[in-house]
Amino acid sequence: MPFDHDTVVGFSKSWGLFYLIALAIGVLVYTFWPSNRERFNRAKKDILDKDDRPWT
């Protein structure tokens, strides 16, 4: 199979799409995994608790 420009473009369009979809699914699974809920809630609160005062 010769590797000309059209072959490489076709390969990258098809497999690149599957790669990005798999990556997006992985990020969503990590985000909504039940054991990560406490970590994300703590990060949400900590950033506001420490910086929500007047600067002295």
Q: Are 37 and 31 in contact (CB under 8 A)?
A: no
| Structure-block tokens of residue 7 | 């072959």
> What is the predicted pLDDT for the residue at 52?
61
Q: Are 21 and 29 in contact (CB under 8 A)?
A: no
| Structure-block tokens of residue 20 | 């990005």
Round the average pLDDT of the chain to a whole number and report it: 85
pLDDT of 50 > 90? The answer is no
* C-alpha–C-alpha distance, residues 9 and 6, integer Å: 5
pLDDT band at 33 (very low <50, low <70, confident <90, very high): very high
Residue indicated by tokens 């369009």: 13
> What is the predicted pLDDT for the residue at 1?
64
